[in-house]
Each structure stands twice: as structure tokens, then as C-alpha cells.
A and B are shown apart, each in its own frame.
Chain A
Amino acid sequence: MNQRLTQIILLLTTIIFGLSFFTGCGKKTGTGSEPELTWATWTTNHSDYLDYNEQPFFKELQKQTGVKIKFKFDVIGEAFNLLIASGDLPDIIQYNWYSRPGGPEKQINDGIIIDLTDAINKWAPNLRAYLDKHPDIDRDIKTDSGKYYCFPFIRGDEYLTVFEGPMVRKDLLDKYRLEIPETIAEWENVLKVFKENGIKSPLSLTTEFSRGFYSAYNVTEDYYLDNGKIKFGPIENGWKEFLQLFNKWYKEGLLDSDYGTVDKAILNSKISSGNAAAAGGLAGSTMGVCITAGKELNEKFELIGAKYPVLNKGDYPEFGQKDLLYNPNSGAAITSQCKNIELAAKVLDFAYGAEGHMLYNFGIAGESYEMIDGYPKYTDVITNYENGDITASLKRYVVSVDHAPCIQDVRMYEQRLIYAEQKEAIRVWSQTNMAKHVLPHITYTPEETEIINEVDENIKTYVSENTMKFILGLKSFDEWNSYVETIRSLGIDKIIAIKETALERYNNR
């Protein structure tokens, strides 16, 4: 009995003691030499290093700028919201400020981040010079009222804005004496030949990678620009024609019978095992991965990118995939709680200068890269990483692999793509007029955001659900008109109108 009692008392004290002891304990953080800047980012530091201060990039950044920086990683989603809610803001937050509800202007008005216009003009000579040279980007990274809100992530070359498209097994084309298909009719023929020769699902793709084929009908799955007007693809006639094509291919067994359920992993397995001979996907995680795995099973395996298909032979593809040079995913903003705005701005501006540019894109001279005939070539440290994954290897030295507030260098990307097929695919996929059709970074007022949020999700759900029904033959094309009507009744016109006003404001910047 006494023993039992002691046990209980012990437990109780553990609880109470635990509470009070650790109440005091939490406060001891931040002792020692205070870091001069704090920087929160959604990116992850490399798991090879227990402490980011050992990771070459972060070590070198602090050395070269001469500023001690305390980083906080993985600040994304819930963690980001909690950071904002906690009220203790770091000096710099690297996040997608553009997509925050109400747009970046609201974040400034709410007092979370500061208007960077003065800071960039005064203390960021490198970025300033770059923006003066590139007025299009300058316009894209501002708010409607002309304020800067972040140090942006910019792709330094148009080459970097294209990374997705249709692909096909070159060795099989050769085997059956076929040309690389260019028109939808040629594609159909190629797929038929594949089918006749026993390939289970000649064309396999996920719904999000179907772009290659609806592009032929001059639509996208989302909003796009057509002669300065904003349109919503899934209610256009081109979309109906695309659905009819896929419906036909699905019925004939040319399109994968698992079309609705294929995900990226299953897609990769279908391509690399040869169950599918044509696909849509990304240059990196589809093409690169499949070539490595496919070659292991079949020495002849050869996967190449095909041009975005067109309807009439000889036409130049109008639609395709294209990102903008400014990608808002990783804008580094300075918060309202930053004590030394000048220092923060200077540290961030470092990335846009000559030295910083090399560090962000190539790492440390003589260690991770060497200048050979004016070309920064990665050394063994990068290319001989133990399990051959160059992306993981690069991440230790080079943060522009992920999105980071800097200018991404095309020479980094060239060396990252390990197969010649990938480089060629990007060149081929770039041959479209998509640049004319991509919506620029327009921003909305809080009221507009509220209207969009109210209906946008319903429209997207309705569209994706019905897209699948039409393709799988669960819904007849007789119902096309009522489908369009429903989307209209959900308020698509209201959204398009909002987007057009926002576009007008954008053009007036």
C-alpha cells in the first residue's frame, strides 16, 4: 500500500513539476550571441545536415554577406499561419505573398509586411538595376498601386519557363517505321499502330498532364488570354472537341483505360515498363525518372519529347505550357517587425549582384563549381554525389534548384538535366505561342477575393467531374449545353468580369 501511494505521489509530482519546470525552460532560447537577422522560409534545409549552419550554401551566404542569419525552415501551410498568428515575426519571410487572400496589398495594409518601394530604390542597387533593364518583370512584381512587396524569384531565361509536354517512345516509332507525330490525326495513327502491336495502353497520362492534347484545340483547363480577352477553357467549344477526341480514344482503347485513376507513380510505371508508349508529363520527374528506370529493363528504351500537337499539318502550335519569368512562389518580404530594414534589404539584394548570383546558382567557386572557358561547370562534389541524385546533391550548395529569391540561371538547369532527350524536349515544347495566352500576375481586392472564393471551388469541382464523365462516356455530348449553362449559373461570368477589371488595373500599372 505504501509503495502504491509513493507511486501515485511520484506521478502527480511529475505532472505538476513538469508543467512548472518547463514553463521557465522555454524562455531560455535566444541566449548567446544574438543573430542579426531572422529569416523564415517554406523551403527545407538538406537533411544531410543536422544544423543548417553546416550546409555549404547557408554557411557561405553568411560569410559573404558578413551577416549572421538565423533561418527557420518549413514555414508553410499551418506553420506559416501560426507564425503570423503568434505575433513574433522574423525579419524576412519567404513565401508566396502573391497568392495570399486579398493579395499582397492587403498584407501590407494589415501591417504584416512592409512596402518595399523605398527600400528597393535606396538599398537594393542590384535588383533595382535588373528591374530597370526588365520593365516587364518590374510591372509583374508590383501591386496595382505600384508598390513592391518582395524580393522576387525570377527565372533568368525563357528556357526555364517550359517543362511539360507530350512524349513518345522513339525506339518504338522507329521499329514500326513511324514519324514523330505532329497532328492529332498522326497521333491517332501512331497510337493505333502501337495498339495493334500489343501495347496495352498506347497513351497514358494523368488528367493534369493532358495539356498536350487540349492545346491542339486552343484552350487551357483554366483561364487564359485570347486577343486580350479572358476566357475560361472548359466552357469553350475547343474543350468540347478535346473531350470528344479523348472519349473516342478511350472507347477505342488508345487512351489508357485507367485514365481517371492514373497518378504520377502509376504513370511512371506504365511508361518505363512499356505498358504505355506515349504520355504527357514533366521533363524531370516524368521523363528523367522513366528513362532511368526504362533503360534498366530495356536497353533500347528511348523516350523523347514531341511537339505540341496541332490540327493541320504544318501549323505552328498556338497553345502549350509556359510559366512566367516571375514566379511568386518564393518572394522574400520584409516584415513590419524588422528593426534594421536597410540590413535586410542589403542581404536580400546580394542575390541579384554578380557574386550573389554565382552563390545562389552554382555554390562556392573552386568547391562546387569551376569556371571553364567562362562557363561555371559543377565539380565532382556535385556530380559524384553518392546515390547519383543530382537534384539532391545540388540542393546542398545551390538554392535556385528550388524556388529562392534570386535570378535562376539557365546554366544551372542545363547541368541539372542529365539526359540529352530532356534538353531537346524542352526546346521542342517551347515552340508555341503560349506566351500570348498566359495571364499575368493580376491582383484582386479583398472584396473580389471573397467573390472568387465563394464560387471558384464549385466551378472547378463541377468541371473536373464532368470532364471525366464526358471522356469516360458516362455523360452524352447532348448534355454539353446544359453543362455550359450550369457553369454560367454558378457565376463564371462574374469571375471573368473580375479578372478583366484586375487585368485592366494591371495594364495601367
Chain B
Amino acid sequence: MNTVIKKQHAAHGLRREGAGERVFNCFNYLFLTLLGVILLYPLYYVIAASFTDTNYLISSADKMLLYPHNATVEAYKVVLKYPLIWNGYKNTIFIAAVGVLVNMAMTIMGGYYISRKDLLFRNFIVKAVLLTMFFSGGLIPNYLLVKSLGLLNSPFALILPGAISTYNMIIMRSAFDAIPSELTDAVEIDGGNDVVLLWNILVPITIPTIMVLVLYYLVGHWNSWFPAMIYMSDKERWPLQLVLRKILIETSELSGEAGSDVQSIGEAVKYAVIVVSTIPVLAVYPLIQKHFVKGAMIGSLKG
């Protein structure tokens, strides 16, 4: 089979479309536009709410918010004033950067191995790995393990225990599986070893999948707070999400009767916190999206 892949757009442009297809296209654009509006609303709401006066938010929690009322940036002043926020950013960026590197190296190596049906112990290892998706020892054994490895309060406590997501490794494998075996055979005949095959041939071809996994892992690290709460008692080591959670808990109600008498700022802060923590990672997607097409082009060079 030939592996020449050209840009898809070229293929599409060849024919004139029929009436049925025109109707379909019309509906498709209309549908996707509508969907876009519906899916945009949550983000729009959060941004609008973050600029809205808290008392308005309190008195209209049962209404749809269409624009910021009594627009104010008070909430952002509160959020950005917290000393732990910038520190949290720093920690999260370190964890996410190193974490994704470790994740991808491990996932690609593991995915390669389980995609090679001819390797020794492969069936046993696949089954052993899959079992871990179902059975886990629970929180306490994991905590004791991390503690005995001396990882408490180390950023690696947030990186190593989740170094591979089995789910992602299987996705990686399926991308390798999709590559025609003629290609791998050819490399082996040319005397290339597994390292050459994997890193020089297979990885470039599967860039779109790899980028998706990068995104998965990145967002996973970005949004994670629970392990940090368990393993990091040192405030200076807290990732952003844990810091933000603390702010949320503090600005929302305290225990029962001790609830605040006024919530001068709480509600809007909740939304400002989400904006501050989400925007950077939202910006990453377009960068990754580019590779969905680029990957196809790299493939075309190999023909």
C-alpha cells in the first residue's frame, strides 16, 4: 500500500457538488454554528460573571446572564492579590512541562511495545497493564508508597505516580497499529533497530495522535489538585489548582452557622479564579490543532 498522503483539501475540490450535498453543507454550517453558540455559553457566562457585581450575581442566580452587570474588576484584584497565585503558576508550569515529557516518553515506549504483536511477553504484559485499569489499592497504600519513596512535598509526587495513563497508551498503540506493517518490515530489513524505527519513523507519522496525548496529559496536569492536596503539605509547592481551590473554599461559605454575613466579593471571585486559571491552557489548543494537518503532510514525505 502506498502511504502518500496529500492535503485533504485538494481531494475535496476536484468535483462539483450535487444539490443534495449543497443542502447538506448548508445544514452542516447552520448546525455547527448553533452548536458553537451553545457550547460557547459556559465560557461566556464565566467571563461575564467574573466582571459582574457580586450582589447582582447573588440576586440573579436563577437567571441567564447575558452581559456583565455593573461591570467591575474587583474580583480580579482580589484574585491577583493572593500571594500564592504566581507561585502556583510557577509550580504548575514546572509540573506540566516535566510531567508531559515523562508521560510522552513512557507512553510512546509502552505503546510501541504493546503494538508489536511479535515481541516476547507481550500478551502477558498487555493483560497485566489492562488489569491496573480496574484494580487499584486505594488511597492509603498509594500514600504510604509515595511517602516511603521520599516523594512527599516533591513535585515528582505529582508526576511519577501518573507517568502513564493506560488509556492513553492504548490510544498510542492504536496509532502505531494503523501504520502498515510493510513500513516496519522495510526498516528492519534495512537493519534499523527498534529505536530508529520508533523515534525516526513511527513517531513522526503519528504526530497528530501524539499531539492529542500531549494535550490530554497537559490538561490533566493543569487541572489536577487532589494528589497535590494529599502529598504537598508545603504551601510553596502547591500547584495553581490547589491554590484556587483554597480561595474558592474560603470565599464560599464556612461551616454551617459561621457563614459570611456579606459576600461582598465571593461570587465573582469564583469566576475570576476560573478565568485566570483556564485561559493559558485554552490558548494551547490552537497550537496543537495545527499538527492535525501537519502530521498528514509529514506522512507524505515518506512516500
CB-based contact A284/B259 at 8 Å: yes
- Residues of chain B lying within 8 A (CB to CB) of residue A388: 262, 264
Q: Pick from B74, B140, B250: contact of A44, CB below 8 A.
A: B250
Look across to chain A and name the residue whose beta carbon is closest to the beta carbon of B247.
A47
CB-based contact B262/A26 at 8 Å: no
B94 CB to closest chain A CB, in angstroms? 12
CB-based contact B262/A288 at 8 Å: yes
- Residues of chain A lying within 8 A (CB to CB) of residue B87: 50
- Residues of chain B lying within 8 A (CB to CB) of residue A66: none
Look across to chain B and name the residue whose beta carbon is closest to the beta carbon of A45.
B235
CB-based contact B74/A387 at 8 Å: yes
Look across to chain B and name the residue whose beta carbon is closest to the beta carbon of A323.
B257
| B101 beta carbon closer than 8 Å to chain A | yes
CB-based contact A8/B250 at 8 Å: no
- Residues of chain A lying within 8 A (CB to CB) of residue B260: 284-285, 288-289, 389, 391-392
A123 CB to closest chain B CB, in angstroms? 29
- Residues of chain A lying within 8 A (CB to CB) of residue B61: 265-266, 268-269
- Residues of chain A lying within 8 A (CB to CB) of residue B83: 48-50
CB-based contact B230/A82 at 8 Å: yes
CB-based contact B246/A422 at 8 Å: no
| A11 beta carbon closer than 8 Å to chain B | yes
C-beta contact mask, B263-279 vs A, less than 8 Å → 1, else 0?
Answer: 11110000000000000
B261 CB to closest chain A CB, in angstroms? 3
Instruction: Compute how far the CA of A23 lies from the CA of B253 in the bound complex, rounded to whole angstroms.
Output: 39
- Residues of chain B lying within 8 A (CB to CB) of residue A272: 55, 58-59
CB-based contact A296/B154 at 8 Å: no
- Residues of chain A lying within 8 A (CB to CB) of residue B255: 329, 402-403
Stretch at the interface among B18-26, B125-133, B143-151, B205-213: B143-151
C-beta contact mask, A278-294 vs B, less than 8 Å → 1, else 0?
Answer: 00001111101110111
| B84 beta carbon closer than 8 Å to chain A | yes
Contact A22 B258, CB 8 Å, known A50-B84, A273-B59, A296-B55: no
Contact A24 B150, CB 8 Å, known A11-B101, A388-B264: yes
Contact A15 B102, CB 8 Å, known A50-B83, A272-B58, A284-B260: yes
B69 CB to closest chain A CB, in angstroms? 11
A234 CB to closest chain B CB, in angstroms? 22
Residue from A29, A265, A401 having most chain B Cβ neighbours under 10 A: A265
A9 CB to closest chain B CB, in angstroms? 10
Q: Pick from A74, A81, A268, A282: contact of B58, CB below 8 A.
A: A268
CB-based contact A82/B98 at 8 Å: no
Instruction: Compute how far the CA of A4 lies from the CA of B195 in the bound complex, rounded to whole angstroms.
Output: 9
C-beta contact mask, B182-208 vs A, less than 8 Å → 1, else 0?
Answer: 000000000000011001100000000
Residue from B62, B98, B163 having most chain A Cβ neighbours under 10 A: B62
CB-based contact B261/A422 at 8 Å: yes
Look across to chain A and name the residue whose beta carbon is closest to the beta carbon of B139.
A78
Look across to chain A and name the residue whose beta carbon is closest to the beta carbon of B263.
A289
CB-based contact B200/A85 at 8 Å: no
CB-based contact B258/A25 at 8 Å: no
| A132 beta carbon closer than 8 Å to chain B | no
- Residues of chain A lying within 8 A (CB to CB) of residue B60: 269, 273
| B49 beta carbon closer than 8 Å to chain A | no
- Residues of chain A lying within 8 A (CB to CB) of residue B163: 15
| B254 beta carbon closer than 8 Å to chain A | yes
- Residues of chain A lying within 8 A (CB to CB) of residue B37: none
Considering only residues 259-314 of chain A, those with a C-beta below 8 Å from chain B are 264-266, 268-270, 272-273, 275, 282-286, 288-290, 292-294, 296-297
Instruction: Compute how far the CA of A14 lies from the CA of B94 in the bound complex, rounded to whole angstroms.
Output: 14
Contact A8 B199, CB 8 Å, known A85-B144, A163-B257, A390-B262: yes
CB-based contact B140/A22 at 8 Å: no
Look across to chain B and name the residue whose beta carbon is closest to the beta carbon of A84.
B140
| A416 beta carbon closer than 8 Å to chain B | yes
Contact A1 B58, CB 8 Å, known A18-B159, A86-B143, A403-B255: no
CB-based contact B229/A74 at 8 Å: yes
B247 CB to closest chain A CB, in angstroms? 6
CB-based contact B264/A72 at 8 Å: no
CB-based contact A416/B261 at 8 Å: yes
CB-based contact B246/A402 at 8 Å: no
Look across to chain B and name the residue whose beta carbon is closest to the beta carbon of A46.
B250
CB-based contact A289/B143 at 8 Å: no
| B156 beta carbon closer than 8 Å to chain A | yes
Considering only residues 230-246 of chain B, those with a C-beta below 8 Å from chain A are 230, 233-236, 243, 246
Considering only residues 16-38 of chain B, those with a C-beta below 8 Å from chain A are none
Q: Pick from A19, A284, A292: contact of B55, CB below 8 A.
A: A292
Contact A26 B152, CB 8 Å, known A47-B247, A284-B258: yes
| A133 beta carbon closer than 8 Å to chain B | no
Instruction: Compute how far the CA of A26 lies from the CA of B140 in the bound complex, rounded to whole angstroms.
Output: 19
Contact A11 B105, CB 8 Å, known A269-B58, A389-B260: yes
CB-based contact A23/B258 at 8 Å: no
| A349 beta carbon closer than 8 Å to chain B | no
Instruction: Compute how far the CA of A163 lies from the CA of B255 in the bound complex, rounded to whole angstroms.
Output: 13
Instruction: Compute how far the CA of A79 lies from the CA of B229 in the bound complex, rounded to whole angstroms.
Output: 8
| A418 beta carbon closer than 8 Å to chain B | yes
- Residues of chain A lying within 8 A (CB to CB) of residue B234: 29
Instruction: Compute how far the CA of A112 lies from the CA of B47 in the bound complex, rounded to whole angstroms.
Output: 48
CB-based contact B143/A387 at 8 Å: no
Instruction: Compute how far the CA of A384 lies from the CA of B105 in the bound complex, rounded to whole angstroms.
Output: 54
CB-based contact A419/B261 at 8 Å: yes
CB-based contact B199/A282 at 8 Å: no
What are 10 sample pairs from A and B whose C-beta atoms fall under 8 A apart? Answer: A4-B200, A46-B250, A47-B247, A164-B257, A272-B55, A273-B59, A293-B55, A323-B257, A388-B262, A401-B258
Q: List 19 additional contacts besides A23-B151, A85-B143; criterion CB under 8 Å.
A: A11-B101, A11-B102, A18-B159, A19-B156, A26-B152, A26-B154, A264-B253, A269-B61, A269-B63, A273-B59, A284-B259, A289-B261, A292-B264, A293-B55, A297-B55, A388-B264, A390-B261, A391-B258, A419-B261
- Shortest 4 CB-CB distances between A and B: which pairs? A285-B259, A288-B261, A26-B150, A269-B61
* A contacts, CB < 8 Å to B: 1, 4-5, 7-8, 11-12, 14-15, 18-19, 22-27, 29, 44, 46-51, 72, 74, 78-79, 81-82, 85-86, 163-164, 264-266, 268-270, 272-273, 275, 282-286, 288-290, 292-294, 296-297, 323, 329, 387-392, 401-403, 416-419, 422
